[in-house]
């Protein structure tokens, strides 16, 4: 059999590349099969002690029990979560660095100039939690329900005040979203965190606050605040007496307070599958449900594709709200 030497020379690089590709593929499969062989880091772009930190540490502990490796939480707060997010997104795509994100992840691209693409530069892994915000007013506000509150806001635009954990934060955006949908107006009063906002709400220095149930419901139960509505389309099983914003006159309003895990782009499919399987099994465990239930938060779970769809949808929705309301970051 005669082989043209020039043809062979032209084919040789392709043969070498094909062989190299096969070697890389085999190496990736081997690495995935051995995963995890060392500790995993969860970057939490928020300070210790808050709701995000609680979810990150619960996940780290329970995931570590399932996979037989240490899972460590690395808090990297700053710039509304952007600082730690960039660290997580730009880590090696090997499964050993995961990034905890919350609803603020879908708000920040419209507020900050980011050094990464919030969709193209990540691999969604799983939605961890699904909860709601609760809208509370202090005792001085005469409204007994959301309809009455919105009527007051329409009658005297800007007179009522609402607190948030910071200008451009998720709580700020979802409150503006409600008032925009209701064609009403209230004045925003930003604070440096949810804690100070709750304190001023209790003191009567601000009229209302949308925040997590863990921050507000203890004061509602003590009779110091009045809960008017929850942000999700349906009522919360933990607080069935509080109507939703949707059933209170704004049927299209549905805001979920969520957390989830993502990895950098390029995560090997086999590693993603292992993480998804273990995390979903963890979220179905009764002891995890028992840890979450007192906070009014439920375990979510689902596929990476479902979580990716949620992220993309909220980027579009909140980007529109921010532009139309003229919201700026601090």
Tell me: the pLDDT tens digits for 272-288?
Answer: 999 999 999 999 999 99
The predicted pLDDT at position 27 comes to 60
Contact (CB, 8 A) for 121 and 294 = no
Q: Could you tell me which residues are beta bridge partners of residue 154?
A: none
Reported as a single tens digit per residue, the pLDDT across 127-151 is: 999 999 999 999 999 999 999 999 9
Contact (CB, 8 A) for 138 and 201 = yes
117 Cβ partners below 8 Å, 6+ apart?
Answer: none
Residues of the chain with pLDDT under 50: 1-18, 20-21, 23-24
pTM across the whole model: 0.83
Q: Could you tell me which residues are beta bridge partners of residue 137?
A: 208, 226
């Amino acid at each position: 059999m005669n082989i043209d030497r020039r043809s062979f020379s032209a084919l040789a690089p392709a043969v070498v590349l094909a062989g190299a590709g096969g070697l890389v593929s085999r190496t990736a499969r081997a690495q995935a099969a051995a995963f995890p062989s060392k500790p995993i880091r969860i970057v939490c772009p928020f300070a210790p002690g808050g709701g995000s930190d609680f979810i990150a540490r619960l996940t780290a502990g329970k995931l570590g029990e399932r996979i037989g490796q240490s899972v460590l939480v690395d808090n990297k707060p700053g710039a509304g979560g952007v600082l730690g997010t960039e660290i997580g997104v730009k880590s090696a795509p090997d499964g050993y660095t995961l990034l905890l994100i919350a609803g603020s992840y879908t708000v920040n691209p419209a507020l900050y100039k980011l050094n990464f693409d919030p969709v193209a530069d990540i691999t969604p892994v799983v939605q961890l939690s699904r909860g709601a915000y609760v809208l509370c007013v202090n005792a001085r506000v005469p409204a007994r329900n959301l309809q009455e509150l919105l009527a007051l806001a329409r009658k005297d635009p800007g007179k009522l005040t609402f607190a948030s954990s910071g200008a451009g934060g998720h709580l700020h955006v979802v409150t503006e979203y409600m008032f925009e949908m209701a064609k009403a107006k209230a004045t925003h009063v930003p604070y440096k965190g949810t804690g100070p906002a709750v304190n001023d709400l209790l003191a009567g220095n601000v009229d209302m606050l949308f925040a997590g149930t863990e921050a507000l419901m203890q004061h509602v139960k003590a009779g110091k605040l009045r809960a008017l509505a929850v942000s999700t389309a349906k009522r919360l099983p933990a607080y069935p007496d509080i109507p939703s914003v949707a059933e209170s006159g704004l049927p299209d309003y549905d805001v979920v307070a969520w957390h989830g895990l993502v990895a950098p782009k390029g995560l090997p499919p086999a590693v993603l599958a292992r993480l998804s399987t273990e995390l979903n099994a963890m979220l179905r465990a009764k002891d995890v449900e028992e840890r979450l239930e007192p906070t009014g938060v439920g375990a979510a779970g689902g596929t990476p594709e479902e979580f990716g769809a949620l992220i993309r949808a909220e980027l579009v929705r909140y980007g529109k709200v921010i532009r139309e309301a003229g919201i700026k970051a601090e």
